[in-house]
Amino acid sequence: MIDLHSHTNESDGTASPLELVELALERGVEALAISDHDTFAGYDEALPEARTRGLDLVCGIELSTRVPSGKSQSGHLLGYFLHQPATAEFRAWLDELIEGRRDRNRRLIASLRDKGVDIELPEVERLGRTLTGRPHFARVLINKGYAANFDEAFRRYLGETAPTYVERYAPYVAEAIERVRNAGGLPVLAHPIRLGIRDPNAEEAFIRELRDAGLRGIEVFHSDHRPADMERYGAIARKYNLLVTGGSDFHGENKPQISLGTGMRGNLNIPLTVLNDLRAHS
Residues at the contact surface with ligand AMP, assessed by CB under 6 A: 12, 37, 64, 133-135, 150-151, 154, 159, 251
Q: In this chain, which of 57, 249, 270, 274 binds Zn ion, going by CB under 5 A?
A: 249
| Per-residue x/- track, 61-100, Zn ion (CB under 5 A) | -x--------------------------------------
Q: Quick check: 219 binds Fe ion (CB under 5 A)?
A: no
Q: Give the Cα separation of 200 and 188 in Å (integer).
A: 19
One of 57, 76, 134, 170 touching Fe ion (CB under 5 A):
76
Handedness of CA 175, 254, 1, 208 (dihedral sign): negative
What is the rounded distance in angstroms from the CA atom of residue 192 to the CA atom of residue 22?
29
Please, which residue, 100 or 234, has the CB nearer to ligand AMP? 100
Closer of 60 and 171 to Zn ion (Cβ): 60
Q: How far apart are CA 13 and CA 32, in angstroms?
A: 15
Decide: 245 and 4 in contact? Cβ < 8 Å.
yes
- Is 10 or 45 the residue whose CB approaches Fe ion more closely? 10
Distance separating alpha carbons of residues 42 and 36, to the nearest angstrom: 7
Helix locations, the chain, DSSP H: 17-26, 41-53, 88-114, 121-125, 134-143, 150-153, 173-182, 200-212, 227-239, 272-280
Least Å distance, CB 5 to Zn ion, is 6
3 lies in the site for Zn ion, by CB under 5 A: no
CB of 210 to ligand AMP, least distance (A): 20
d(CA 138, CA 149): 8
- 255 scored as a contact of Fe ion (CB under 5 A): no
Q: Which is nearer to ligand AMP, 49 or 175 (CB)?
A: 175
Point out which residues bind Fe ion (CB under 5 A). 12, 76, 190
Point out which residues bind Zn ion (CB under 5 A). 62, 249
